[in-house]
Amino acid sequence: MKILLATMSMDIGGAETHILELALELLKRGYEVHLVSAGGEYIPELEKAGVKIWYAPLNSNHPIKMFKSYRILDKLIKEQNYELVHSHARISSYLLGLLKKKYHYAYVTSDHGAFKITWLLKKMTNWGEVTLAVSNDLKEYLLKNYDVKEENIIVTVNGIDTEKFSKDAEFHDVLKELNLKEDSFKIVHVSRLDNETTFVTKQLVKIAPKLLEKIPNLEVVIVGDGTAFEDVKSLTKEANELCKSEVVKLAGKRTDIYKFDNMASLFVGVSRATLEAMSCEKLVVVAGSEGFLGYLNDSNLEDAIKTNFTCRGLGLSDEEMLYNGILEGYKHYIEQDTAQMAKNRDLVANNYSIKKMVDDAEKAYEKCLKKA
């Protein structure tokens, strides 16, 4: 079967990694996979694997660029004759929803997050005949805010490559590159550094001097890039001046995230990034721009799972909450809480595999094709 995957871009991020893993596994299962986007860091890996790549400015909602994207998609679908189209972002879903009326292809969409809702944006949101929601709370979001029938929603997961993200991953080249100490207590934070996603990033940088008083061998490594990178860089400079040493380090945009996860003593973050660290048997503090959960253990695991480790609706952290959560993680690290580390790995291996994610996608495809 010939499938077109569509999204905004393939730069580094949770949804983008989901699409990367989906495309690669679909190839292994014998599908012909094409992908259209505005390009990005993951494109070379996809091309090398055999995914056919097309380009359209789907990362922009400017009317001229959206019209250009519509023209490109129209030509692409007409010439390539796809049996199924699977969209992963609002702009691509809107345009492909319009084109479906013209070409009548089987149409699947994925919901990776709770979009902002206004009357206009609601009108510009087209969901597929079947929609994959990456968590139960997103299924509820769809049912509450859109005219999507429950029987046409399939709840799926973010599939994690547990072979790549493992405690066996080599990382010493990163230690050398960033001039990190082998025996330090390393807090690793992975996030897209855009204005709307750096709430916890900035808190983490600001509390670094205070954490240093309790954790003398502290190093904080922030991985990511985005529109707020310069703001984070400025805060980092201020924090390091207070620390009188380069305690906080910025690694920028990376594709070798598994190395950073495996060198972590404690991971701070949300969503897929947290699951990837857990797959490496790391202790984690779940905190992000949509809410705060704290040090992950049996007492709050249910809330983590319900929100797909995003903390949606759980209330935001303040600096003191994040500080205390990290100190709790530090305490468990010093006590060598290998039982919790193993639990974290087992949870990912048993419930968030790439196999399950792609099995769910195939169920959506089969259901959609029967409707066509």
Residues 186 and 323 in one domain: yes
Give the gyration radius of the chain's Cα atoms: 21
Assigned domain for 327 exists: yes
Assigned domain for 339 exists: yes
Residues 68 and 194 in one domain: no
The single-letter DSSP state of residue 245 is: S
CA distance 286 to 271: 8
Q: How far is CA 77 from CA 73, 87, 131, 145, in A?
A: 6, 13, 20, 30
Q: What does the pLDDT look like over 121-141, one tens digit per residue? A: 666 678 889 999 988 888 888
236's tokens: 């980092």
Residues 244 and 323 in one domain: yes
57's tokens: 């400015």
| Per-residue pLDDT band at 33 (split at 50, 70, 90) | very high
Assigned domain for 362 exists: yes
Phi and psi at 34, nearest 5°, equal -115, 155
CA distance 334 to 327: 10
40, 366, 21, 72: which is closest to 225 by C-alpha?
Answer: 40
Assigned domain for 166 exists: no
| Coil, strand or helix at 249 | strand
CA distance 261 to 306: 23
Mean confidence (pLDDT) of the chain:
92
Residue-level pLDDT at 122:
61
| Per-residue pLDDT band at 12 (split at 50, 70, 90) | confident
Residues 237 and 144 in one domain: no
Residues 15 and 139 in one domain: yes
Residue 60 neighbours by CB under 8 Å, 6+ apart: 38, 66, 69, 91
User: For the chain, where are the E strands, in sequence order?
Assistant: 2-6, 32-37, 52-55, 84-87, 106-111, 130-133, 153-155, 185-190, 218-223, 248-252, 266-269, 283-288, 291-295
Full residue range of the structural domain in which residue 234 is found: 172-351
265's tokens: 């003593």
Residues 121 and 241 in one domain: no
Residues 192 and 78 in one domain: no
CA distance 333 to 156: 32
Assigned domain for 167 exists: no
Amino acid at 177: E
Q: What does the pLDDT look like over 153-184, one tens digit per residue? A: 999 988 999 999 999 989 999 999 999 999 99
Assigned domain for 226 exists: yes
Q: What does the pLDDT look like over 80-129, one tens digit per residue? A: 999 999 999 989 999 999 999 888 899 999 988 776 666 566 666 788 89
Residues 114 and 188 in one domain: no
Q: Are 155 and 139 in contact (CB under 8 A)?
A: yes
Q: What is the CATH number of the domain that holds 14?
A: 3.40.50.2000
Residue 139 neighbours by CB under 8 Å, 6+ apart: 133, 150, 153, 155
Cα 69 → chain centroid: 24
Q: Are 9 and 36 in contact (CB under 8 A)?
A: no
CA distance 31 to 83: 11
Overall number of domains in the chain: 2
Mean pLDDT of 250-259: 93
Q: At what angle do helices 338-351 and 271-279 cross, to 10 degrees?
A: 120
Percent of the chain with pLDDT over 70: 97
Tell the residue number behind the tokens 């807090």, with chain if given: 187
Q: Are 106 and 365 in contact (CB under 8 A)?
A: yes
Residues 367 and 336 in one domain: no
Residues 154 and 184 in one domain: no
Phi and psi at 110, nearest 5°, equal -120, 140
Residues 266 and 207 in one domain: yes
195's tokens: 């204005």
Residues 95 and 183 in one domain: no
| Per-residue pLDDT band at 147 (split at 50, 70, 90) | confident
Residue-level pLDDT at 255:
87
The single-letter DSSP state of residue 134 is: S
Dihedral sign for Cα atoms in the order 203, 209, 215, 220: positive
Q: Are 365 and 168 in contact (CB under 8 A)?
A: no
Tell the residue number behind the tokens 């997050």, with chain if given: 113
Assigned domain for 164 exists: no
